[in-house]
């Protein structure tokens, strides 16, 4: 009998992917040039690297979902943090269950490879993988069933403590003390996920493993203005305390990357990926519904406040008080208090939400186009189409002409200082999306992520309908918790592996190329309906010659998994998104 028979050889991961949400070359390259971020620098020297173009618009839910499916959002059905009712105006929170195309994880399982993923956004509820899945950002709370298999959750809680997705105090960083607390919390969260990743590598290794860290995204959103002297919110007095906040997060995740890689063998292929980049917010703000109102395309009911009283029975509370009160509550309550409030008065939350966005005051019977301004990004425009929306008034024959008119008028929104258009590019839906679900996307997507097209959007209220549609923000430090950074289209890709080229920069790489490349490297045929392409420019020519790319049958689309959250789960997810700044 073979004496080694009883000793099982521990599985060694074939591929490990590290997701650094929102990591951007515009910061990494200069810091590496100064001698910082040694682990990423070393990977670049020994492997391939390049700019990774995200999906459009470059936001977390469609980006990571496109990464996991190799497809554009029109084929997987995830476009944003919220889904707009196909046949209505209401919105609900989306999650991983909204995805209607198989993930690369499932395809790898089907080909005989085990997979383990940690903290990828839009993986809740977790998939029943051969391996494991720990859901990310869309997990309602630590009490939710966010780990598959469920016994792994108990094991992790015993080994590393309760896993938490939330950073407390984010939504109300009105003092330097609070900002420092948030940075401390972010470090704690990074260390928690690092401990989970190292534990899983040691005790639950799989053929393919992926670990995601979210803190670069958060720190860039809230602290970019402290390191950028040209920023309109720059505060010279705060620079000494917070000017290094963003870089510290990058350096910390670089060190964590090093800890993970030193536990891998040389024959493990490693990828470092970000779902989009980051950059500063600028001082231009656009009020889109206000502009649509001024163009005669959107109308408010009566004087703009009747809708709340009539529609929701909040008779004694005028819109102004409700709006002011809700805004105040949002800033001053802790997450826990807000969750409790939301659970205790779910109806009030919805009423306040509707009143706050002034959506409820829109007279749908006279409105041709509108914007869901509750979302921090992206400000997209919807057409109130007959036969699709319940109160639709736009005839299908009028659709194209209306879109042309809106695009023409958006071009007339100028920066008063330069006379140049605020919005440099506008995309029609069919230019961006293709697939069975593309009809669920907004009709017009405005470019807010390109350097020549940067702007923010804010909610419009009926009473302000005659004010300018574009304002230039005052240049002074913000007292409140406010985004100083937002997303850019280009993220990062670094890859190291025996079959990958070394010290090579690769070009024209897209986020959707990772799934087909992963399949190719493991010898699995690439489904013909994936939009991404195998990154052949990253692979050594001898390997490529010996292993030509094989096309496989379409992975297809799946019917919707039920993705609805309960009222309580919605409230918790909303709190997180509001604290992160994704909801106005």
Among 316, 336, 361, the domain boundary falls at 361
Same domain, 447 and 383: yes
In this structure, are 86 and 209 located in the same domain?
Answer: yes
Both structure tokens of 533: 């392409």
- DSSP assigned state of 70: T
The percent of residues in the chain predicted with pLDDT above 70, rounded, is 86
Examine residue 438 and state whether it is found in any structural domain, yes or no.
yes
What integer pLDDT is reported at residue 302 of this predicted model?
A: 77
Calpha distance 134→148 (Å, rounded): 7
Q: Provide mean pLDDT across the span 19-36.
A: 98
Cα 565–chain centre separation: 19
> Would residue 5 count as lying in a domain?
no
What's the N-to-C CA distance of the chain in angstroms? 68
Residues 153 and 72 in one domain: yes
Q: Tell me the β-bridge partners of 362.
A: 300
571 in any annotated domain: no
Burial 486-498 (b: 16+ CB within 10 A, else e): bbbbbbbbbbbbe
**pLDDT tens column, 530-548:** 999 999 999 999 999 999 9
For residues 337 and 224, membership in a common domain is answered with: no
Query: Which run of H or of E encompasses 17?
Result: strand 15-20
Please check whether residues 271 and 290 belong to one and the same domain.
Answer: no
Q: Are residues 162 and 53 in the same domain?
A: yes
Instruction: Give mean pLDDT, residues 44-67.
Output: 96
**Which pLDDT score is estimated for 584?**
59
User: In which element (H, E) is residue 323 found?
Assistant: helix 319-332
Within a domain: 575: no
- Shared domain check, 189 and 105: yes
Spatial separation of the C-alpha atoms in residues 448 and 68, rounded to whole Å: 24
pLDDT at position 554 over 60: yes
Structural domain including 313 reads: 301-361
The two structure tokens encoding residue 234: 């720059």
311 and 248, same structural domain?
no
| Count of beta carbons in the 10 Å neighbourhood of residue 165 | 24
Q: Is residue 352 domain-shared with residue 233, that is, in the same domain?
A: no
Beta strand residue intervals within 85-143, DSSP E: 91-93, 115-120, 131-135
Q: Is the pLDDT of residue 42 over 80?
A: yes
Asked if the peptide bond before residue 378 counts as cis, ω within 30 degrees of 0, the response is yes
Residues 318 and 389 reside in one and the same domain: no
Could you tell me the CATH number of the domain that includes residue 106? 3.40.720.10
Confirm whether 420 is domain-assigned. Answer: yes
Q: Are 376 and 582 in contact (CB under 8 A)?
A: yes
Does residue 559 fall inside a structural domain? no
Structurally, the chain folds into a number of domains equal to 3
What pLDDT score was predicted for residue 561? 56
Question: Each residue of 62-116: pLDDT tens digit?
Answer: 999 999 999 999 999 999 888 876 677 777 778 888 899 999 999 999 999 999 9
DSSP state of 142: T
- The mean pLDDT value for 178-204 works out to 96
Tell me whether strands 131-135 and 115-120 are parallel, antiparallel or unpaired.
Answer: parallel
Evaluate whether 206 touches 132 at the Cβ level (below 8 Å). Answer: yes
For position 17, what pLDDT does the model report?
Answer: 98
What is d(CA 206, CA 215) in angstroms, rounded to the nearest whole number?
A: 25
**How far apart (Å, rounded) are the C-alpha atoms in residues 346 and 356?**
15
Q: Is the pLDDT of residue 391 over 80?
A: yes
pTM of the full structure: 0.90
Residues 185 and 120 both lie in one domain: yes
Rounded to a whole number of angstroms, the CA Rg of the chain reads 24
CB of 582 closer than 8 Å to CB of 82: no
Please state the φ and ψ torsions of residue 286, each to the nearest 5 degrees: -115, 135
Average pLDDT, the chain: 87
Q: Is residue 1 part of a domain?
A: no
CA distance 510 to 491: 9
User: Is there a domain that residue 567 lies in?
Assistant: no
Please list, residue by residue across 558-572, b when 16 or more beta carbons sit within 10 angstroms of its beta carbon and e when fewer do: eeeeebebeeebbbb
- State whether 85 and 165 are in the same domain: yes
Pick the last residue of a domain from 345, 361, 377: 361
**Domain stops at, among 472, 506, 540:** 472
In a 3-state reduction of DSSP, which class is residue 394? strand
């Amino acid at each position: 009998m073979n004496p080694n028979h009883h000793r099982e050889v521990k599985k060694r991961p074939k591929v490990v992917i590290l997701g650094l949400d929102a990591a951007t070359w515009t910061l990494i390259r200069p810091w590496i040039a100064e001698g910082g971020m040694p682990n990423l620098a070393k990977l670049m020297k020994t492997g391939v690297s390049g700019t990774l173009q995200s999906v459009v618009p470059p936001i977390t839910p469609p980006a990571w979902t496109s990464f996991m499916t190799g497809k554009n959002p029109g084929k997987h059905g995830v476009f944003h943090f919220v889904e707009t009712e196909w046949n209505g105006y209401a919105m609900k929170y989306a999650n991983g269950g909204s995805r209607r195309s198989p993930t690369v994880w499932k395809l790898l399982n089907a080909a005989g490879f085990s997979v383990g993923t940690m903290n990828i956004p839009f993986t809740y509820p977790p998939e029943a993988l051969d391996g494991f899945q720990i859901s990310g950002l869309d997990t309602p709370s630590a009490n939710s069933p966010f780990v598959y298999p469920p016994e792994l959750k108990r094991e992790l809680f015993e080994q590393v403590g309760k896993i938490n997705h939330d950073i407390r105090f984010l939504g109300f960083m009105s003092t330097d003390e609070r900002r420092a607390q948030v940075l401390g919390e972010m470090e704690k969260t990074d260390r928690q996920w690092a401990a989970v990743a190292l534990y899983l590598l040691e005790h639950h290794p799989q053929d393919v493993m992926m670990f995601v860290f979210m803190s670069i995204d958060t720190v860039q959103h809230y602290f970019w203005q402290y390191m950028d002297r040209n920023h309109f919110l720059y505060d010279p007095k705060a620079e000494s305390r917070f000017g290094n906040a963003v870089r510290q997060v990058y350096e910390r995740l670089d060190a964590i990357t090093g800890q993970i890689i030193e536990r891998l063998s040389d024959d493990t292929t490693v990828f470092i990926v970000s779902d989009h980049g980051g950059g500063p917010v600028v001082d231009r703000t656009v009020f889109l519904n206000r502009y649509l109102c001024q163009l005669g395309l959107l109308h408010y009911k009566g004087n703009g406040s009747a809708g709340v009283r009539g529609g929701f029975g909040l008779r004694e509370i005028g819109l102004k008080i409700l709006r002011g009160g809700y805004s105040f509550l949002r800033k001053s309550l802790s997450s826990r208090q807000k969750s409790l409030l939301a659970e205790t008065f779910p109806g009030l939350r919805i009423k306040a939400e509707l009143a706050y966005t002034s959506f409820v005051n829109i007279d749908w019977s006279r409105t041709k186009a509108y914007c869901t301004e509750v979302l921090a990004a992206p400000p997209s425009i919807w057409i109130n189409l007959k036969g699709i929306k319940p109160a639709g008034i736009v005839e299908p024959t009028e659709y194209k002409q209306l879109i042309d008119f809106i695009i023409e008028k958006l071009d007339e929104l100028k920066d008063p200082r330069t006379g140049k258009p605020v919005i440099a590019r506008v995309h029609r839906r069919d230019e961006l999306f293709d697939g069975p679900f593309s009809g669920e996307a907004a009709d017009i997507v405005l470019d807010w992520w390109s350097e020549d097209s940067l702007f923010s959007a804010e909610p419009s209220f009926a009473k302000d309908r005659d004010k300018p549609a574009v304002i230039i923000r005052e240049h002074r430090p913000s007292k409140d918790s406010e985004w100083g950074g937002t997303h850019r289209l280009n993220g990062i890709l670094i890859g190291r592996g025996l079959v990958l080229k070394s010290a090579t920069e690769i070009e024209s790489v897209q986020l959707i190329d990772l799934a087909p490349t992963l399949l190719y490297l493991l010898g699995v045929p690439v489904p013909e309906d994936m939009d991404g392409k195998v990154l052949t420019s990253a692979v050594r020519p001898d390997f490529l010659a010996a292993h030509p790319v094989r096309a496989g049958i379409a992975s297809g689309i799946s019917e919707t998994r039920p993705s609805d959250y309960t009222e309580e789960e919605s409230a918790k997810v909303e709190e997180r998104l509001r604290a992160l700044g994704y909801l106005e």
